[in-house]
Amino acid sequence: MRTESFEFKGRKLDVIAVEADGNWVVTIRENGHTVGRMEYRATAETVNDAATAINSVDLVSEMMKIARRDVLDDIVGLNPVP
């Protein structure tokens, strides 16, 4: 699991990446609850292939950056905390 924190419009949010069932899933959470309206996914195989490619990429880190950017640029909305 990977976590990065950030703030948006006074809300303290976390970008969370979790590996489960052969997939990496990235979501936006607030106080432990998913509030982002999008999730970002890649298979573990794709993540491993990207890491070992000639021009290697940390795909999980890149998905986390995209999820954070989508919130900060107000591309995807946030749900209220339940």
Confirm whether pTM is higher than 0.75.
yes
Q: How far apart are CA 50 and CA 44, in angstroms?
A: 10
For 11-55, write each residue's pLDDT tens digit: 999 999 999 999 999 999 999 999 999 999 999 999 999 999 999
CA distances from 34 to 26, 53, 77, 82 (A): 10, 32, 12, 9
Please state the domain extents for the chain: 2-72
Q: How far apart are CA 70 and CA 7, in angstroms?
A: 13
